Amino acid sequence: MATVSHNRMGNKYIEQTVHVKNPYLDTMEEDILYHFSLGTKTHNLPDMFGEIKFVCVGGSATRMKAFAQFIHLELNLPGNAEELEDICKGTDRYCMYKVGPVLSISHGMGVPSISIMLHELIKLLHHAQCCDVVLFRLGTSGGVGLAPGTVVVTEKAVDYSFLPQFEQVILGKVITRSTELDEGVAQDLLQCSSELQNLPTVLGNTMCTHDFYEGQGRQDGAVCSFSQEEKLEYLQKAYEAGVRNIEMESTVFAAMCRMCDLKASVICVTLLDRFEGDQITTPHDVLVEYQQRPQVLVAHFIKKRLGLI
């Protein structure tokens, strides 16, 4: 939803507030964000979160804590980065850290896990009256025809048939939603990557699957019902459709942000090239460095937007 506001110079500008698409929400006396262990009656959400402008989400709780500590140092904020408190400490479903205007949250693995987190996150941003918020998913992925360690900024989040859509079953019916992401943010991220060393970055389509093994055409799961030729044929088709990486959350992330007028971007590093194999054999220290790459890129973007560089 757009609201006309005035900046410090008295000039008019359009403020983009967070638009929940649920007519029932405002009729509720209290909203309990169960999986965050937060609520509208128990917490002052505008006080706690009103200043948030950037929300970074990622699968692992450890990685999102490390990101919070990293962005704390990058933004040169007062206090000890080592002492950041998990806002969701009342639950072990997700972790959440607030660092100035940045919120860092974990979402677990797969569409169902991130989707629950996103419902509660978007409601939280709405209740907190946040505006002009940009969301980023920082993740890992399997590359399709790319050198391991390449960062993919998602152009289109696509499903198993390479279409930019997310299918949700609601009341027994399949509802299809568009997964368009913000082009401007993606282009700005690419520009940021060109200003950084050692950050090979491409724009490409990201395929979202509901499984890491058979769903991503892996032959190393407990079950496999297809041949090596069939697998390579599927990966080749994906490549020809512009797919450059495969992960497990991008379509629902894109669809929900779009429905709620939130600018969003997906930035995932590739851990391997799926044309070369299925198992992730890269040494641990190399994987740790790869996983920092989306964080370094997004930190640079945030610092630029805040006018710090």
- Residues of this chain that interact with ligand URA (CB under 6 A) are 140-142, 212, 216, 246-248, 271
CA 153, CA 33: separation in Å to the nearest integer? Answer: 30
Among 20, 59, 103, 145, binds ligand R2B (CB under 6 A): 59
Token readout for 38 is: 């937060």
Binding pattern to ligand R2B, positions 207-246, x when CB under 6 A? Answer: -----x----------------------------------
DSSP class of 90: T
Span of 41-49, 134-142, 174-182, 301-309 interacting with ligand R2B by CB under 6 A: 134-142
Q: Strands (DSSP E) along 150-213, which ranges?
A: 151-158, 165-170, 173-178, 201-208
Q: Distance between alpha carbon 192 and the CA centroid of its chain, in Å?
A: 18
Q: How far is the CB of 174 from ligand R2B (least distance, A)?
A: 22
The b/e string for 209-233 (b: 16+ C-beta within 10 A; e otherwise) is beebebbbbbbeeeeeeeeeeebee
Among 37, 106, 140, 205, binds ligand R2B (CB under 6 A): 140
Binding pattern to ligand R2B, positions 255-284, x when CB under 6 A? Answer: ------------------------------
Which secondary structure element, helix H or strand E, spans residue 67, and what is its range? helix 61-74
CA 142, CA 277: separation in Å to the nearest integer? Answer: 10
Whole-Å CA distances, 283 to 197, 286, 296: 22, 5, 20
Please identify, using beta-carbon distances, which residue of 3 and 236 lies nearer to ligand URA: 236
59 binds, among ligand URA, ligand R2B, none (CB under 5 to 8 A by kind): ligand R2B
45 binds, among ligand R2B, ligand URA, none (CB under 5 to 8 A by kind): none
Please identify, using beta-carbon distances, which residue of 186 and 269 lies nearer to ligand R2B: 269
**Comparing C-alpha atoms, which of 207, 257, 304, 255 is closest to residue 55?**
257
Neighbours of 120 (CB within 10 A): 20
Q: Looking only at residues 65 through 124 of this chain, which bind ligand R2B when binding is defined by CB under 6 A? A: 109
Q: How far is the CB of 140 from ligand URA (least distance, A)?
A: 4
How many residues contact ligand R2B, by CB under 6 A?
Answer: 9
Please identify, using beta-carbon distances, which residue of 160 and 212 lies nearer to ligand R2B: 212
Please identify, using beta-carbon distances, which residue of 208 and 299 lies nearer to ligand URA: 208
CA 118, CA 107: separation in Å to the nearest integer? Answer: 8
Please identify, using beta-carbon distances, which residue of 59 and 101 lies nearer to ligand R2B: 59
Residue 270 near residue 248 (C-beta atoms within 8 A): no
Among 248, 260, 266, 297, binds ligand R2B (CB under 6 A): 248
Please identify, using beta-carbon distances, which residue of 55 and 248 lies nearer to ligand R2B: 248
Instruction: Indicate if the alpha-carbon torsion angle 86, 87, 91, 93 is positive or negative.
Output: negative
Neighbours of 11 (CB within 10 A): 8
109 binds, among ligand R2B, ligand URA, none (CB under 5 to 8 A by kind): ligand R2B
Binding site for ligand R2B (CB under 6 A): 59, 109, 139-141, 212, 247-249
